[in-house]
Every structure is written in structure tokens, then in C-alpha cells.
A = this chain, B = another copy of it.
Amino acid sequence: MSSKAAVPFSRDALEQVLKRRVSGLYDYGPPGCGFQANIVDTWRKHFILEEDMLEVDTTMLTPYEVLKTSGHVDKFTDWMCKDLKTGEIFRADHLVEEVLEARLKGDKAARGQQVEEKDDKKRKKKVKEIKNVKLEDAVVAEYESHDITNPATGGKLEPPVEFNLMFDTAIGPSGQLKGYLRPETAQGQFLNFAKLLEFNNEKMPFASAAIGKSFRNEISLFLMAEIEHFVDPEDKSHPRFAEVKDLKLKFLPKDVQEAGSNTLVEKTIGEAVSTGMVDNETLGYFIARIYQFLIKIGVDSNRCRFRQHLSNEMAHYASDCWDAELETSYGWVECVGCADRSAYDLSVHSARTNEKLVVRKPLDQPRTVNNFEVDIDKKKFGPKFRKDAGAVTKFLTDRTQCELEDLAKELADTGKISADVPNVGQVEVPAELVKIERVERTEHVREFTPNVIEPSFGLGRIIYSIFEHSFWARPEDKDRSVLSLPPLVAPTKVLVVPLSSHADLTPLVGKITSALRKAQVPFKVDDSSASIGKRYARNDELGTPFGITIDFDTVKDGSVTLRERDSTKQVRGSLDDIVKAVKAITYDGVSWTEGTSSLTPFETVTEEK
């Protein structure tokens, strides 16, 4: 299949096919939709069933409080500029790119071709800079220095400000409850943590998973699949790591990037973890499983890399993060994130709701601890602090061991505690109302907040990348494009093609379609008057891997021809044997050669056009 590379990739040609055949204006048409359904099905089998995860289907309407707690209300933003006169709003990074590009074109025309290349590099560098650093303050200043105006009217624009990317909506018939359409599925999983742990018989580690639409402004179709793997922070080993440790992957670690290089490091995931490049076994296990999934559904292994986040792009709480990036004509596109988010998510929700989101694990050996404890005299506390009694109590019981040590000292030294209590103000607690002392206890149970390892898939981007990786043109005719989707995920598996509309062939179509239907193999019939070659070509570009041809020999002996899309090889056999071969190649991962070894090779002259 080296022929696949003979005609250079054309994004225009792919977009033609996608627009014409796969998608509607905002929507997936039938082939895109079938492909997406198969990707989701494969994801579910590869992760949820194979790894015994707990799937949840959480609400799309998320109350304000939840997303305030998670940080989305404050930080889930893009920089936008407003034209005060027309009211139009522009995404700042897109606008810079567009305006600089237009100016360069003008300059080029004036100065001739010689400077083009240098300018192009300069512009690309500038645009990249602006996009990559997310228009932070320094860039905003730079932005202004370029005097960017409304490209249509030339009107003055306001300086860029952050706009939140979430869709807001009101929940309940009178809109009492402010909320958002979820920007991700993760929060729904964190909120259900206690219930999921109970469902899992309190056993750790375990993972939950959710597949569903999420909503971000400017992205109309955004299907995500997210896993939240909850793990003991003191033990991030993985029982099945040995099964993947010899898998070789291409990495772009942070030290290489920081040295200004893009050179990929190829090593096994086992080495990556043992050398500490990847933080821990569980993170490494998921990196390997993500890779296996991507290859299974049609990603080109040569155009898949794992890029580590730099320290400054990673959230402060995360301990390590790798993105699976796929190479497309747009560059390397981030398609799957795989982060160790430490205890952050469960901690913030727990702090907000006062619900303990912890795991209690019996200790092999009981252990003795000697901690400061707070003992409040509630009878006296109420009359003294009245309505503030709760807030003062919470303030005292929320202190860390270090803070308690200081308070104990203050109490011993001054006979009282002076504190600035939130929502109350300066307060004095006299020694007769509170004791803070070291107490020795024997613990049989260790209590901890699980860490979260989160593989998060943007299925739409993966689907687009696979289209690019699978799309090629036949060298003998570059207008005949082919989408080499793996049979497992191709929307239609078989095209049934009667040689002609002759009355003798029509009943055979029914016989073959009912055999395929019984075998649950998705098929289409093309009994149009177009030539066989043309009918196959139409389905090659939709990614249909097999064709079954009915001809006059079929009338005589019941045999049919099976054609393979990429090689256009053909074999002949009985209908039963052909269907069996299609099923084995499609669903059991058998190769074409192996699956058709008992069938008769069938030679034709070159396919008609």
C-alpha cells in the first residue's frame, strides 16, 4: 500500500469529500454519524468494559455553584475584542492572525516575492507566540501596539478582555437557578464520587467514565469521553502495567521542549516510567491504552506523539500531564489529555459542600498517632458567641496541625485565642471555652483523598484527524480518493453491487442483503446504472472496506466476488464463506490475507472508470 503516499495529501480534496458526503452544515450526516457511533462503541469496549469502569450519564445542566467551585466560572475563558460602534466581537488571537496575514499579503504585493519566505516565518512565529501563550498581559500590550482594528470597517476596537466560554442558561420553570451547559463531563463524575465508591464496594482504585456532548462557545459539536481514575496517592502502581510496558511510543518530554527542540524521544512506556519521565505507572498505563485505542480506530502511528505539558502550562495542582497529539495539515493537534490532577478536584468540592470525599482504608498494622485536638465547651460557646457560634467553631476545627500547635501555645501563654474569623471578624476565645491538646490515639484506618488521573478525549478532533490520516488518492487517477477507515469503525462495511439491472440478478440482491442483515453486518446496496468502477469509487471515498459483486455466475452457482477497498484485490466464494470472511476481518481483527485464505483469488481487468 505504498501507493497511498504517491499523491500528495490535499486538504481541499478532503474537505470537498467531507462537505459533500460526510457532514451537513453544523451536523454529522449519515456516514459521519455512523463513524462516530462506531468510535464511541469501540471506546466503550476498549475502556469501560475492558477495564471494568463505572459508566455514568450525568446531567448537561450544571448549577452555577458547581462550576464556580471547579474554577470554570473564573478561568474558562478566551480573549475577545469588542467594536464599540458596531457591537461586533472578535476572538483576539484569530483577529491578530487575520489582520497580520492581510497586511503581509499587501506588503508582499508591493515588495515582490523575494522577501516572502522571511516574512512568512516572522508572521508565523508571531502568530504562534500569540496563540500559544493565550494572550497573557504582555501579549495584550503587544496586541495594542499593532493597532489592530475591525477588518471590515477599520473602526477602533476595545482592548482584549476575557470572555467566558460557557453557555449560560436558567434551570427550573421560572429560571430560579442560574446554571451553565456543562463544559466537560468531569464535574458530574466528581459530584457522584461518594456514590460510585459505595457502588464499587468501597474498593480502590477504580475509574468512572462518561461519554457525552459538552458545550463551549464557537464549537457546536463537541463530543467528549472522559475517565476519572481514582487512586491512592501513596500507591500509583497499576496491576496491568506489565501487559503494556514493552509498547514503544514517541514522546516529546518537557526538557526537550525547554531546550527549544521538537525531536521526538522513542522509548517503551516501561522505560518512560522507570526513568521517571512519566510520573507513575497508572499514568503510564493510560498513555499506553490511549495509544492502543487510537491505532485501533485508524490513527497513523507515525503521526501520533505524546507531548508533556511544560511547568507553566500545567495547572498548579497537577503532578504530570501528557497530551496525545495527532499530526494534521493544521499542525500537531491536541486530541487526548492525560493528567494526574492530584487531589484537587475532590478537595475543592469537599471544601465547598462540607461533604467528606475520602476513602477509608484498613491499615495492615494499627498505628499510634499523637495529634493536637480541639475540645470545645459547647454549653458555654452558644451563649457567648450566639449566631456566630457555628462560624467560630468551624474556624477552630478547620485548623491544620501546625496552626493548632500555635493556637495551643497562644492559649497557654495568654489564656485566650485571638483570631480573625471569616464572616465574623476579630474574636477572642477564652481558655475556659476551649482546650487544644495533644491526644494519643490508635488508628486502624487510614483516611485519604484519592488522587485523580484523568484521560480526556475530544472525539471530534480525533475523528477529523483520522479522516486526514486515512485520506489518499489513487496514483493512477488522483480524482479517485479513498478513505482507508479500519473495517471495525467504518460506518458501512459492505457495498452490494449487482453487475446490471437484469431481472435475473434482482432476487439475488435480496438474498445477499438478508444474509448480511442476519449476520448484523451494516451494508448498502448500489443498484444505480453507474458503472461498477464508478460505484466502487463512490464508496471508496466513504471508507466502505468491502464490496460484494453479483454477476451472472452468481445466478449459476451462487458464488459472489469480494473486493477489498485499499488494494482493490478480489476473491470469489460462496455467499456464506464471503460473509464469514467479512465478519472475521471486521470484528475479530483477522487480516485480509488470513481471512480470505480459503477463498479463490479473482482476477479482473483494471476497474472501469
Whether B21 pairs with A174 at a CB distance below 8 angstroms is no
Whether B24 pairs with A36 at a CB distance below 8 angstroms is no
Q: Which of B170, B173, B218, B528 contacts A218 (CB 8 A)?
A: B173
Contacts of A221 in B (CB 8 A): 57, 59
A218 to B170: give the CA distance in the assembly, Å: 11
Contacts of A55 in B (CB 8 A): 30, 33-34, 37
A173 to B34: give the CA distance in the assembly, Å: 30
* Stretch among A195-203, A248-256, A390-398, A401-409 lining the B interface: A195-203
Contacts of A27 in B (CB 8 A): 56-59, 188, 192
Contacts of A490 in B (CB 8 A): none
A236 lies within 8 A of chain B by Cβ: no
A143 lies within 8 A of chain B by Cβ: no
Stoichiometry (number of copies): 2
A522 to B49: give the CA distance in the assembly, Å: 6
Whether A54 pairs with B26 at a CB distance below 8 angstroms is no
Contacts of A82 in B (CB 8 A): 174
A104 lies within 8 A of chain B by Cβ: no
A192 to B26: give the CA distance in the assembly, Å: 10
Question: Which residue of chain B is the closest to A213 with respect to CB atoms?
Answer: B60
* Stretch among A118-126, A161-169, A259-267, A352-360 lining the B interface: A161-169
Contacts of A231 in B (CB 8 A): none
Interface-central residue, A30, A34, A58, A172, by most chain B CB under 10 Å? A30
Q: Which of B21, B33, B195 contacts A56 (CB 8 A)?
A: B33
Contact with B along A13-34 (1 / 0, CB 8 A): 0000000010010111110111
A130 lies within 8 A of chain B by Cβ: no
Q: Which of B56, B80, B217, B520 contacts A28 (CB 8 A)?
A: B56
Whether A170 pairs with B173 at a CB distance below 8 angstroms is no
Contacts of A91 in B (CB 8 A): 173
Whether A196 pairs with B29 at a CB distance below 8 angstroms is yes
A212 to B55: give the CA distance in the assembly, Å: 17
A524 lies within 8 A of chain B by Cβ: yes
Nearest-Cβ distance from residue A353 to partner chain B, whole angstroms: 13
A172 to B87: give the CA distance in the assembly, Å: 13
Contacts of A36 in B (CB 8 A): 57
Interface of chain A residues 24 through 78 with chain B (CB within 8 A): 24, 26-30, 32-34, 36-37, 41, 44-45, 49-50, 52, 54-61, 78
Q: Which of B61, B87, B218, B220 contacts A59 (CB 8 A)?
A: B220
Is chain A's binding surface mostly helix, strand, loop or mixed?
mixed
Question: Which residue of chain B is the closest to A163 with respect to CB atoms?
Answer: B173
A101 to B21: give the CA distance in the assembly, Å: 58
Contacts of A60 in B (CB 8 A): 213, 215
Contacts of A192 in B (CB 8 A): 24, 27, 29
Nearest-Cβ distance from residue A222 to partner chain B, whole angstroms: 10
A434 lies within 8 A of chain B by Cβ: no
Whether B21 pairs with A199 at a CB distance below 8 angstroms is yes
Interface of chain A residues 431 through 462 with chain B (CB within 8 A): none
Whether B173 pairs with A78 at a CB distance below 8 angstroms is yes
A387 lies within 8 A of chain B by Cβ: no
A181 lies within 8 A of chain B by Cβ: yes
A379 lies within 8 A of chain B by Cβ: no
A119 to B518: give the CA distance in the assembly, Å: 56
Q: Given A167-B170, A169-B181, A173-B89, do A61 and B220 touch, yes or no (CB 8 Å)?
A: yes
Contacts of A80 in B (CB 8 A): 173-174
Contacts of A195 in B (CB 8 A): 24, 29
Contacts of A172 in B (CB 8 A): 89, 217-218
Question: Which residue of chain B is the closest to A50 with respect to CB atoms?
Answer: B517
Q: Given A49-B520, A524-B52, do A33 and B59 touch, yes or no (CB 8 Å)?
A: no
Interface of chain A residues 85 through 135 with chain B (CB within 8 A): 87-89, 91
**Listed A/B pairs (22) with beta-carbon separation below 8 Å:** A21-B199, A24-B192, A24-B195, A26-B58, A27-B57, A27-B58, A27-B188, A28-B57, A29-B54, A30-B56, A30-B199, A49-B517, A57-B221, A59-B220, A163-B173, A163-B174, A167-B169, A168-B170, A169-B181, A172-B217, A173-B217, A181-B181
* Top 9 A-B residue pairs of the complex, sorted by shortest distance between their CB atoms: A89-B174, A30-B54, A27-B58, A28-B57, A33-B55, A33-B57, A26-B59, A169-B169, A24-B192
Query: 5 new A-B pairs (CB below 8 Å) besides A78-B173, A173-B217?
Result: A26-B59, A30-B54, A80-B173, A167-B169, A168-B169
